[in-house]
Chains A and B, each alone.
Chain A
């Protein structure tokens, strides 16, 4: 597609529930990133994929967070046993890998844990 697509746009989860957030990057983009944006804050890095390889997961806040990109295109961010502090907007971005144009972000998934 023309842009980065994320679904769902909004997700309300009860505390302790597992959630899965989906990202469809721009076709052909090898690099894919997940960021977490708390209300009124800048995005914070979670994890980075180059094709199907997860090259950096240093930003994942706990072992309840897991990301995958099995075929090098669509990616899923999974959060197990959600907690209230997980409430945030989760942004996905992709980049063509040529280093010239920066990231293209999706509109994000707003997760609210109640």
Chain B
């Protein structure tokens, strides 16, 4: 019940295309869903996050879609660029900063120039 399942494991997208990464969770007590981007040799960096009271959040080229009834959320990267090539992790927690994150297993994204 504590797991967050992430797919796909890897993704190759052409420059300018849309990258879509999906996550699913079981624990209905989760109420904070961040996405992190990690480059090799670096720590994860917060990209965007959403709470269950909204179905979509957009920041620049990054959009989170959230489906509370299905217990699923996804990251969409519009106009994907080679600089977006990184590993992306979804996560879930009961509250930001006061409870541990449960991370997905990661998606390695490669954007072809």
Residues of A participating in the B interface, judged by any CB pair closer than 8 Å: 4, 31, 33, 40-45, 48, 50, 56, 59, 91, 93, 95-108
Which range holds the interface residue count of chain B? Answer: 20 to 34
| B44 adjacent to chain A (CB < 8 Å) | yes
Given A99-B95, A102-B49, A45 and B101 touching (CB < 8 A)? yes
Given A103-B46, A106-B43, A108-B43, A42 and B105 touching (CB < 8 A)? yes
Q: Which residues of A contact B103 (CB under 8 A)?
A: 42-44
Please tell me if the beta carbons of A43 and B44 are within 8 angstroms of each other in the complex: yes
A104, B101: Cα distance in complex, Å: 13
Please tell me if the beta carbons of B98 and A101 are within 8 angstroms of each other in the complex: no
Given A41-B105, A41-B106, A42-B105, A31 and B98 touching (CB < 8 A)? yes
Q: Which residues of A contact B104 (CB under 8 A)?
A: 42
Residues of B participating in the A interface, judged by any CB pair closer than 8 Å: 6, 32, 34, 36, 41-46, 49, 89, 91, 95-106
Determine chain B's interface SS by DSSP, over half rule. loop
Q: Which residues of B contact A106 (CB under 8 A)?
A: 43
Given A41-B106, A42-B89, A56 and B43 touching (CB < 8 A)? no
5 cross-chain pairs, A with B, having the tightest CB-CB distances, nearest first: A42-B103, A105-B43, A95-B97, A45-B100, A102-B46
Kindly count the residue-residue contacts between A and B in the assembled complex, taking CB atoms under 8 Å apart.
67
Chain B: CB-nearest residue to A29: B97
Q: Which residues of A contact B91 (CB under 8 A)?
A: 42
Please tell me if the beta carbons of B98 and A99 are within 8 angstroms of each other in the complex: yes
Chain A: CB-nearest residue to B100: A45
Q: Which residues of B contact A100 (CB under 8 A)?
A: 96
Chain B: CB-nearest residue to A50: B98
Q: How far is the CB of A101 from chain B (nearest CB, A)?
A: 7
Q: Which residues of A contact B89 (CB under 8 A)?
A: 42-43
